[in-house]
Chain A
Amino acid sequence: MSEVIRTERLTKFYGRRRGLDGLDLEVRQGEVYGFLGPNGAGKTTTIRILLDIIRPTSGTAQLLGRDPRAGGTALRTHVGYLPGDFVVNEAQSGRELLTHLGHLRGGVRADRIVALADRFDLDLGTRIGTLSKGNRQKVAVVQAFMHEPELLILDEPTAGLDPIMQQRFLDLVREATAKGQTVFMSSHVLSEVQQSADRVGIVRDGRLVAVEAVETLRRRAVRRVEVVFEGSVPADAFDGLPDVNDIEFDGSTLRCRLAGRADPLIKALARYDVASITIQEPDLEELFLVYYRGEAAVEDGDAAA
């Protein structure tokens, strides 16, 4: 079995409000899957169905080859979960909570908990109520990883973590996948998953609109290009080039956006005397917006499905 998570036409209605609208998802064993979408797109709904906290209106979900509900407690033994909103009794210390949750999982060695906490500079003795948002998030991260589950389901895992802790979190994710664990993480920020995800699924209005390797996303991302010329260049020299949009050209400086192969633009530029050229790193946020607006779904909806 190579698919750790599989959903087919997963649909969820909250009364008449639609949470999920036929979501088809496939997450392979050992990969890091970024589940991206704006707030309200259905990410948390999907995750809560996978954990049997809510039940789908129609469609099926499978985790490690089993239905979340039928799999019950035996299935959840193999899963680590980081909730998007980590709320616990605030009067207890991190150690108390983690020890208790470890027991619910059949026992997690205390030194394992301490080692994880140390990696994140987390003080286990402090009452959770007095911890900052970032430190609470560290507790949430530790409880999800501490029993080394086969599958990690993480809802916005790095929310509140500072950049250094985000890096340590990414190290933890890499170590997990190196050991064959699978990581499914949701986010509404592309940069959060682009460093760690192998593939990214983009969800919008309860549907999966695209699944891409992060590299492909990067290649297809929109780049801003600025070229300064010497000598005269015809005003219409760059009209009609494929994948070149938003052209601004005043006779000496060209500004445009490149949304595909660079070759046609480069060939066109090469006919003139180029003084300088600047191509920005692809802005994944912008690409994300393209999918979100639904433009991508119209252009390559079939390829994505």
Chain B
Amino acid sequence: MLLRSVFGKTLRDARRSILGWIVAITAVGAFYAAFFPTVNTPEMAQALEAYPEGLLDAIGFTDITSAAGYVGSTTFGILGPILTLIFAAVLAGGAIAGDEEDGRLDLVLAHPVSRWSVLVQRFGAIVVAMVAAGIVLAIALIAISGPAQIDDISAANFFAAGFQLALLGIVFSALAMGIGAATGRRVAVNAAIAIVGIGGYLANTLAPTVEGIEWLQSLSPFFYALGGAPLRNGLQVGDAVVLIVASVVLVAIGGYLFDRRDIAV
């Protein structure tokens, strides 16, 4: 069944790394969430008050004595995004640029399948992996929400946060696919992910605290994935649309250039 299309074959070829990554992000995410009871104490609240407010904002910690604030700052604010970005660079960077550098792309493209189709189908497979990870992570958090004392977050909001984390992974995957399709070089993909990842993170956390450059935040993918606090406020439809449109544009630009260039030996 999975052998019928490039989409299915991409999922099948990457099944071990996709499963491993889903297990990793779920385990790490749930592990951190499970520590909430140790943070949710008067002593911790007192200790945190000693820090200047701007500093906590700058490292992405907001309101961490509430369940939504804590899980939003750790699982969804730092660890989830870092793991997701690494996975986007590896899987989406490998899908075109990696295959091309290893010499595997020639054979597929010599078959009756267009470059656009290869790009879109492989991207589709990565979208499925990202969404699956978001869903599994949400289910795991719901499962431990009682003992972890985070059960004042609704199941719907866990799914909303998981979905928006998936969208963050999708937009970075689109960046990786777009750069990979345009250049065929993994090093370009990794550089783009690092620059946009670190730059975007700083723009989301630091820029709002610096007068005059607050607007930079609105350029950050992290702002649209996390800024609306989906654990507290549910799915942010507007933010989700921005991430989806950005993903489509990135893949489309990559596909346009991919279709017009030589495939490297």
Q: Which residues of chain B (93-113) have a CB below 8 Å from chain A? A: 102-104, 106-113
Is A100 touching B9 in the complex (CB atoms < 8 A)? yes
Q: Is B5 an interface residue (CB 8 A)?
A: yes
Count of chain A residues with Cβ under 8 Å from any Cβ of B? Answer: 31
Closest to A107 in B: B4
Is B112 touching A77 in the complex (CB atoms < 8 A)? yes
Is A79 touching B3 in the complex (CB atoms < 8 A)? no
Is B110 touching A76 in the complex (CB atoms < 8 A)? yes
Q: List 8 A-B contacts (CB under 8 A).
A: A48-B106, A51-B106, A53-B106, A53-B263, A72-B114, A73-B112, A88-B107, A100-B3
Find chain B residues with CB under 8 A from A143 CB: 107
Q: Is B229 an interface residue (CB 8 A)?
A: no
Closest to B114 in A: A73
Q: Select which of B3, B102, B104, B107 is within 8 A of A99 by beta carbon.
A: B3
Q: Select which of B3, B5, B110, B112 is within 8 A of A83 by beta carbon.
A: B110
Q: Select which of A72, A92, A103 is within 8 A of B5 by beta carbon.
A: A103
Q: Is A125 an interface residue (CB 8 A)?
A: no
Q: Select which of B6, B104, B263, B265 is within 8 A of A104 by beta carbon.
A: B6
Q: Select which of B102, B103, B106, B112 is within 8 A of A106 by beta carbon.
A: B112
Q: Is B49 an interface residue (CB 8 A)?
A: no
Chain B residues close to A by CB (< 8 Å): 3-6, 9, 13, 102-104, 106-114, 117, 262-263, 265
Is B109 touching A51 in the complex (CB atoms < 8 A)? yes
Closest to A77 in B: B112
Is B109 touching A53 in the complex (CB atoms < 8 A)? yes
In the bound assembly, the distance between CA atoms of A55 and B262 in angstroms comes to: 6
Greatest chain B CB density within 10 A among A53, A79, A89, A105 is at: A53
Q: Which residues of chain A (83-101) have a CB below 8 Å from chain B? A: 83, 85-89, 91-92, 96, 99-101
Is A83 touching B113 in the complex (CB atoms < 8 A)? no
Q: Is A54 an interface residue (CB 8 A)?
A: yes
In the bound assembly, the distance between CA atoms of A79 and B107 in angstroms comes to: 12
| A89-B13, A104-B6 given; A53·B103 CB < 8 A | no
Is B4 touching A79 in the complex (CB atoms < 8 A)? no
In the bound assembly, the distance between CA atoms of A184 and B13 in angstroms comes to: 32
Name the distance in Å between B102's Cβ and chain A's nearest Cβ. 6
Q: Select which of A87, A96, A105 is within 8 A of B111 by beta carbon.
A: A105
In the bound assembly, the distance between CA atoms of A85 and B262 in angstroms comes to: 17
Greatest chain A CB density within 10 A among B5, B108, B109, B110 is at: B110
Is B111 touching A76 in the complex (CB atoms < 8 A)? yes
| A73-B113, A103-B4 given; A85·B103 CB < 8 A | yes
Q: Is A81 an interface residue (CB 8 A)?
A: yes
| A87-B102, A87-B103, A99-B3 given; A81·B110 CB < 8 A | yes
Closest to A155 in B: B106
Is B5 touching A74 in the complex (CB atoms < 8 A)? no
Is A74 touching B106 in the complex (CB atoms < 8 A)? no
Is B9 touching A83 in the complex (CB atoms < 8 A)? no
Name the distance in Å between B122's Cβ and chain A's nearest Cβ. 13
Q: Which residues of chain A (108-167) have a CB below 8 Å from chain B? A: 143
In the bound assembly, the distance between CA atoms of A51 and B108 in angstroms comes to: 11
Find chain A residues with CB under 8 A from B263 CB: 48, 53-54
Is B13 touching A83 in the complex (CB atoms < 8 A)? no
Find chain B residues with CB under 8 A from A89 CB: 13, 104
The 7 A-B residue pairs whose C-beta atoms are closest, nearest first, are: A54-B262, A81-B110, A73-B112, A87-B103, A100-B3, A104-B111, A77-B112
Name the distance in Å between B118's Cβ and chain A's nearest Cβ. 10
Find chain B residues with CB under 8 A from A100 CB: 3-4, 9
Is A79 touching B110 in the complex (CB atoms < 8 A)? yes
In the bound assembly, the distance between CA atoms of A91 and B9 in angstroms comes to: 12
Q: Which residues of chain A (51-85) have a CB below 8 Å from chain B? A: 51-55, 72-74, 76-77, 79, 81, 83, 85
In the bound assembly, the distance between CA atoms of A85 and B113 in angstroms comes to: 20
Closest to A12 in B: B262
Name the distance in Å between B261's Cβ and chain A's nearest Cβ. 8
Name the distance in Å between B185's Cβ and chain A's nearest Cβ. 15
Known: A83-B110, A104-B113. 17 other contacts (CB 8 A): A48-B106, A53-B106, A72-B114, A73-B113, A73-B117, A76-B110, A76-B111, A83-B107, A85-B103, A88-B104, A89-B13, A89-B104, A100-B3, A100-B4, A100-B9, A101-B107, A106-B112
